[in-house]
Amino acid sequence: MSKIITTDLQAKFIHSIVYDGVSGTEAARRAGYSPVSARQTASQLLAQESIQASIRNEQFKYLNGTLASKALKTLEQIIDDETAPHGARVQASIAILERSGLTHEVEAKRLESSTKPVHEMNRSELESFIAATKLVIAKYEDEQTTKVVEQV
């Protein structure tokens, strides 16, 4: 992947937007662009496809790096906290399993192994079939999103 950002100012601008969560105008000021024209500069930068791609790439790295690690650590603490409500511990466990992809794999295998025609299923079976199908679709969409981001 080639480096998209061409200047230090652009890199600081992108960093401020992604990691500090500030507006484009404030990000331009923090990056070192002229405060007088910061709003116009931010607008021009945000209109550039290369800047947009760099922001998406940095957001992806942040979400799947630092924030994902913090989220997993928090979930682990909830699971290990015997004083936490049972429901919270279960939800934390489910979230970790979903993040690992294990629940998607189980549901996909169950869906593939289902031999009963849809028109013969009862309401409960149909609801399970639909839920499993949604999980398979979600996994596919996640994989497609990851491929797109990796290409950026």
Q: Domain residues of the chain, as ranges?
A: 101-152
CA-based nearest residue to 45, from 63, 57, 33, 58: 33
- Return the DSSP state at 48: -
**What is the pLDDT, as a whole number, of residue 97?**
78
pTM of the complete model: 0.55
Mean pLDDT per segment of 10 residues, for the chain of length 152 residues? 69 95 96 96 95 91 86 89 89 79 60 71 79 76 65 54
* pLDDT score, position 2: 42
Q: What is residue 98's DSSP assignment?
A: H
Say how far apart CA 71 and CA 77 lie, in whole Å.
10
Which own/partner contact pairs does 39-44 have at CB distance under 8 Å and 24+ positions apart? 42/13
- The pLDDT assigned to 111 comes to 60
